[in-house]
A and B are shown apart, each in its own frame.
Chain A
Amino acid sequence: MSKMENHVLTVDGLSIAFGGLKAVDDLSFDIRDKEIYGLIGPNGAGKTTVFNCITQFYKPDKGDLRFKGHGDQIVDLTTKPVHDIIRQGLVRTFQNVELIRELSIIDNVLIGGHIDFEANTLSQALKLPKARKEEKKYREEAEKILEDLGILDRKDMLVGGQPYGILKKVEFARTLMARPKLIILDEPAAGLNDSETIDLARLIKRIRDQYDCSILLVEHDMRLVMDVCDRICAINFGKLLAIGTPKEIQANKAVQAAYLGVE
């Protein structure tokens, strides 16, 4: 697997069908270390299905998903249950922001650290020193991330009632809490206005540099994708259209046809 040396994720021959419909058909692409990679396609192209296959919410019918996790260990994602994916260093966000409204912002971020806690339930129930120390350590880590994202002053506020832009940042902070190797963002620009989208583009680049991770962007908003992505994979009807730099994708006839229709 020397091929994986500078790849964080390799998708090879991925296929999944729902009934007779091939949602994803023999799709292959790879994401390099520290790359911001875009996955685009018109509505119904199968972007979200690809995403759900990678994160094991769906089990693909065929195909290899190899991921270079913590300690540069290559793992086959298809062998992992869905709740173990984050442990490998692969964290996702949700299109509609899945946070817990009744919890404070910092508690929401701490959920991202769920897998890192070592003290068992009993020692937490009794608040043994080990559990207390651990809680404090991760709380400080969460505060640092919130400070980085510029929302530390809101940490004790409830998530319910916060503006959408803040919620996106909280969800970002939650993924960072897991010290990811690869973050998959599901349509992060959905519901944001123009200036918020520009902020988001800046934030995505900054996070890649600062937290030393790769980012896979599943996105609709062309401007965001063209602006931040190093490479882009365009798909339609579950099949690969083209892979290339933003410029190459923009010039690609097949992509243009898929988006604008053929004359």
Chain B
Amino acid sequence: MKAKKNIFQKHPAIGFILFGLLLALIPTLAEMGILKNGYVTTIGGTLIYAIAALGLNILLGWSGLISLGTAGFMGLAAYMSAYLTVDLNLPFEVSFFLAVLIPTLIGILVGLVSLKIEGLYLAIATLAVAEVLRKTFEELGKYTGGFSGKSADYPTLFGLFELDRTTTFYFIIFVLVIIMILTSNMMNGRLGRALNAMRGSEAAAQAMGVNLLTHRLIAFALATIFASVAGVLYVHFVKFSYPSTWSLAMSLNFLAIIIIGGLRSIYGTVLGAFIVYAVPDMFLKQIPFFEDLSYVLNGVLIILVIIFYPNGLISIGYDIRKLFRKLTKGGAKNE
């Protein structure tokens, strides 16, 4: 009995690229007036959050390690890239690289700490790191603009192509699709299995030859790389960074994204980001009388999702397929 695999199961990359192409239609739809112009900004931001949330999913979903510091690392990368491109006039690519590298090194240090502490204690430790970073953003006014924030421009690629809002949006999709493909390749292979093993049982993982130290460091490094990439994209898309953005609330939102969307699900992470960030802006605010309550409604929505889809909203797809099969089967019987 060999289950037939369709092309998307065999080559998940094709699905991710198609998904990216679909997203790339959004600015055109907005120009045609089918979608509101502001949606491009909302969705672009949502996709950026999805990138950081994917990193957290590797950490929590696959590896079973928690972090409440995602926002801090994302903010550090955002400020660094703004400073490096605006104040030091470095090319975008160079600042991108540095703004990912430095937070990642700090993330790896946290990974080292994670060998000694676990669970709630690790959550508190990562939270402390993020809060220290946020305080630094406030106090180091010379580099960060303090409370008044720091601005940046749309990226200029290779010193030639000055991007605008629409092309930066395309750039975000490009980065997201690449990160989705890399994540899928890594998590469905040896690394993903090892991280899964580590989450399941540390003793069993070690008995199977999984080095806990290296794999925890890899998990933290990947999570920080993704958060930093998201931070860089954020500051060059939103064009502004305030210390208050990179708060615990944001880190908790990332947690909400992956739990709502689905732990260990790549599409689920993107879906979760839409629920948490895009739905209140795009839909809930449109409901008359409830404009101001959109985030309250969102909270209710999140609770409903968790009650009915504890494995993440992504599993709704399987339910629909099952229902569909039932219906078609029923139809066949009637004939």
Q: Which residues of A contact B (CB under 8 A)?
A: 55, 57, 81-87, 91-92, 94, 98-103, 107, 110-112, 114-115, 117, 119, 121, 124-127, 131, 135, 153, 156, 174, 178
Q: Can you list 10 contacts pairing A with B, beta carbon distance less than 8 Å?
A: A57-B206, A83-B210, A84-B209, A86-B208, A102-B196, A111-B197, A111-B208, A114-B194, A126-B185, A127-B185
The reply to whether A94 and B203 form a contact with Cβ atoms under 8 Å apart is yes
List, in ascending order, chain B residues with CB within 8 A of A114's CB.
Answer: 190, 193-194, 197, 208-210
Q: Select the residue from A81, A94, A98, A156 with max chain B CB neighbours within 10 A.
A: A98
A55 to B218, CA, bound (A): 25
Contact in complex: B204, A98 (CB < 8 Å): yes
| Interchain Cβ contacts within 8 Å, total number | 88
Determine the chain A residues whose CB is within 8 A of the CB of B211 once the complex forms.
81, 83
What separation, in Å, do the CA atoms of A94 and B193 have in the docked complex? Answer: 18
List residues of chain B with CB within 8 A of the CB of A174: 208
Interfacial chain A residues near B197, Cβ < 8 Å: 100, 111, 114
Tally of B interface residues using CB under 8 Å: 28
Name 11 extra pairs, CB < 8 A, besides A86-B208, A124-B191: A85-B207, A98-B200, A99-B200, A100-B200, A111-B196, A111-B205, A111-B208, A114-B208, A115-B208, A115-B209, A178-B208
Docked-complex contact A153 and B208, CB < 8 angstroms: no
With both chains docked as a complex, state the minimum distance between the C-beta of A104 and any C-beta of chain B, in angstroms.
10
A178 and B204 alpha carbons, distance in the complex (Å): 14
Q: A31 CB to closest chain B CB, in angstroms?
A: 18
A151 to chain B, nearest CB (A): 12
Select one of B3, B200, B201, B218 contacting A121, CB under 8 A: B218
Do A124 and B185 form a contact, CB below 8 Å, given A101-B200, A114-B194?
yes
Residue B115 CB within 8 A of the other chain: no
Most chain A CB within 10 A, of B199, B200, B210, is at B200
Do A112 and B218 form a contact, CB below 8 Å, given A98-B203, A124-B186, A124-B189?
A: no
